[in-house]
Structure 1
Amino acid sequence: MRRRTVVSAGVPLAVYEQGNPAGPTVLLVHGYPDTHWVWDDVAAALAADGHHVVRYDVRGAGASGAAKGVRGYRLPQLADDLFAVADAVSPHRAVHLAAHDWGSIQAWEAVTDPRAAGRIASYTSLSGPCLDHVGHWARRRLARPTPRHLGQLLTQAAHSWYIGVFHLPLLAPAVWRLGLAARWGYVLASTEGVIPRTSHPQPTLATDAVHGIALYRANMLPHLLRPRQRPTAVPVQLITLVRDRYVSPALGDDLDRWVPHLWRRTLTAGHWSALLEKGPTVAQMIKEIAAHADGAPASPALERAAVSSRERAAGPRRPQRPRLRWGRGRGPGLERAAFAGKLAVVTGGGSGIGRATALAFAEHGAAVVVCDLDLATAERTVELARLLGAPAAHAHRVDVADSAAVDTFAREVAAAHGVPDIVVNNAGVGHGGTFLQTTEKEWQHILEVNLGGVVHGCRAFATLMVERGEGGHIVNVSSAAAYLPSKVLAAYATSKAAVYMLSDCLRAELAPAGIGVSTICPGLVNTNITRTSTFSGRSADGLDATRDRFAALYARRNFPPEKVAWQILRAVRENRAVVPVTVEARAGRVLSRLSPALTRVAARIDID
């Protein structure tokens, strides 16, 4: 790493460079109470990819000089520092800017400055809004104090409790000097799971933290109480940290008013763990926006992030397809763009619940990838999804019982369209027969498809979701048979009960990664599954007759797959753990809990 000194308004700034000097320049700005070291992992990943990576200790931190008095920490002066560094390290080419916490706040000052044109090619912001934008954000909510707006204001006020403390004389400096600095590593480890390292917290932390208090005193009240108009034409990537204890996601709601070129991303991380534990993921996001700003096509993930921002700016729209409503004309309570910018993968999407689910996601703004053993039916689903306005729809032929095929499918989806946000493991087959009637081959087939298909889908896609770090949701379609035993559904009920338990186990495992898992338990749903189900111990003529009887029963029940699809969308939206869909499924779940003995008695009934 190369070091130089840049002087801005008489204050020496320690600047550090690494990577390829001829590559695109990425300028990283740290926050409070950090130094350039907080970017170590991000910088290493960017440098390894051929970027010219530049970091500097902001005034008052690390090896840089400190300003005299509070006035020296005002945002216009901090913006001057940033431009001075950019001019020194990349005088003839615009820099790509990324900043965190107070680094992001001062970077917003530079990005919304007229000098940004031609000097800043792109901006990635983490956990630090423009203070003027926040001032306007608060004013609009106070002008229209709806419960939602008041809730947002109160939430952010609770997140920002420390700002008031920093304005008290003597107290905040004393806290840092008398113990907080020495315990800072423990605080980050206990609150965010950050593993202490030799470079963080930095040895100058106590002094840096005391100097940095001036940032709050010089800027907070003036900009929040008298906000300026601060638009920008710079392409901006906003990374919202799901577990941020200090900056609430609502602060970015109005950003479209100021930033016409906006991409919204999320990262399942805390305020500091985003950089200290998920640096390579942040680096990948920075690389994507930088490459796109330099003329490369947008990555699939970045393209979906742009869609999300456009839909958010357009505002919510209600669904217009009355045939997908239920219950005395009541809709599902989801806005038209509920899944805008999302990518949903649906297995067994060629018919029935799978097709209805893919179409419901498409109608609500998601791009969809559908797979089925019958490619023609999957392609027909894709045609319908496009007619409903899906931003993208693609079909694949996949045998979910083949683990290698599912792994290949997941890699192809990620390479062509990006890592999916939602995966619905729906593919399955029906089977009837007692335990003694069911052959070993039939057992193997049922378990390979109904259980193995879910296992393969969860493993292949959850691995990608965890690596990406942006969260997601997995839906596993089980059945009411999972908790309602029947002697004539031995293999089928066993496979669905295993899916039920797998989902609960996986939900616990993936929760720290921000990935939800839902189990959907339909009852009698009018799909073509009865026409393709197998039955043990039946002759050819007897098999057709049995299928006809069950098809007639399901037709009389007449519960459409579209209603299951809506429940799946709501389960994803609300992160529900278990969703029994039909009346009989809900009643059966209650009965299985209240009186397991009664369900065992009912299991003896011959329903064939």
Structure 2
Amino acid sequence: MKNFKDKVAAITGAGSGIGRALAIDLAGRGCNLAVSDVNLEGLAETVRLAQEAGRVTITSQKLDVANRQDVHAWADKVVADHGSVNLIFNNAGVAHGSTIEAASYEDFEWIMGINFWGVVHGTKAFLPHLRASGDGHVINISSVFGIIGVPTQGTYNATKFAVRGFTEALRQELDIEGARISATSVHPGGIKTNIANAARFDKSTEAITGQSQEKSKKNFEKLFRTTPEQAAHTILKGVEKNARRVLIGSDAYAIDAMQRLLPSAYQAILGGLAKRQQRKG
């Protein structure tokens, strides 16, 4: 897919952050949009901004990506409203900070339902429609935490590693088949979104970080270097190049390089840094 003009893109988690930036960027390129989010107020603002960016057709839908039936119904509605769909950006996601031991099964189910099952639902619901379009692309948002494991991020790591493996397997299957559909796994580093603000944090993180939950959130946000607009531009450039993997931000490249050079030793390095931070706390 070398350009997005007159195509139709579906985006989950479009009420803010990368999802909103993707919608605005795509609208400016003449791409019609079907946007969804659980936050109707944020979604309405995205629609307004996208309409200002380009004269395209935009539909919106309140959607919980963890609900399989609702996602499939939305995919069918997108085609009914737009006639076809060419791209699905499975972008909706949440964060959770906790030690593995302290994380409840409900915590795992909550984050898996959105971060992993949301991607599965979106991919499987839209694949038949992408095939029918004759020119389709699946874009699944993983994370740098889908490349390395990080203390207190075990639940999040589990979802993002799963998204990476799922997408890489899908890409290979489509390549082998010679399909006119492709798939890309996206790994953002620290993006200036409200994900940390909306994250669930457990008190167990305090024993690891030596900091209060509030301070941990603030310090986490300090690591966010890349704007959503920069992230969206990088993602769309990756789609144009049919990239298998897209890294976003200098921190993502550094983390990827560390994992390649020190595939298991990086754990000791991160553990040492965490202990130092713990002593400071």
TM-score by length of 2: 0.89
2:102 matched to 1:437? yes
TM-score by length of 1: 0.42
Match of 1:413 in 2: 78
2:137 matched to 1:473? yes
Residue 519 of structure 1, aligned match among 171, 178, 185:
185
Match of 1:365 in 2: 30
> Cα distance 1:600–1:474, how it changes in 2: closer, same or farther (>3 A)?
same
Residue identity in the other structure for 1:577: R
2:151 matched to 1:487? yes
Alignment of 1:394-413 (within 5 A): 394-413=59-78
Identity of aligned residues (%): 31
Residue identity in the other structure for 2:166: L
Q: Deviations over 1:187-223 (max 9, x none)?
A: xxxxxxxxxxxxxxxxxxxxxxxxxxxxxxxxxxxxx
Q: Distance in 2 between matches of 1:557 and 1:438?
A: 25
Residue 560 of structure 1, aligned match among 224, 227, 236:
227
Match of 2:51 in 1: 386
Q: Distance in 2 between matches of 1:436 and 1:424?
A: 33
Residue identity in the other structure for 1:514: R
Q: Distance in 2 between matches of 1:371 and 1:487?
A: 32
Residue 496 of structure 1, aligned match among 133, 148, 160:
160
> Cα distance 1:547–1:457, how it changes in 2: closer, same or farther (>3 A)?
farther
Q: Deviations over 1:238-265 (max 9, x none)?
A: xxxxxxxxxxxxxxxxxxxxxxxxxxxx
Instruction: Count residues in correspondence.
Output: 268
Q: Distance in 2 between matches of 1:422 and 1:537?
A: 40
> Cα distance 1:552–1:537, how it changes in 2: closer, same or farther (>3 A)?
closer
Q: Contact 1:410 / 1:461 at 8 angstroms: preserved in 2? A: yes
> Cα distance 1:500–1:470, how it changes in 2: closer, same or farther (>3 A)?
same
2:195 matched to 1:529? yes
Q: Contact 2:87 / 2:130 at 8 angstroms: preserved in 1? A: no
Alignment of 1:81-160 (within 5 A): none
> Cα distance 1:552–1:443, how it changes in 2: closer, same or farther (>3 A)?
same
Unaligned runs of 5+ in 1: 1-265, 267-333
Q: Distance in 2 between matches of 1:401 and 1:547?
A: 28
Match of 1:460 in 2: 125
SS at match of 1:416: helix
Q: Contact 2:115 / 2:159 at 8 angstroms: preserved in 1? A: yes
Greater C-alpha radius of gyration? 1
Match of 1:546 in 2: 213
Q: Deviations over 1:322-354 (max 9, x none)?
A: xxxxxxxxxxxx9xxx41111111100000111
Residue identity in the other structure for 2:190: L
2:22 matched to 1:347? no
Residue identity in the other structure for 2:235: I
SS at match of 1:597: coil
SS at match of 1:507: helix
After TM superposition, give the deviation of residue 392 of structure 1 in Å. 1.1
Match of 2:208 in 1: none
Alignment of 1:247-286 (within 5 A): none
Residue identity in the other structure for 2:145: A
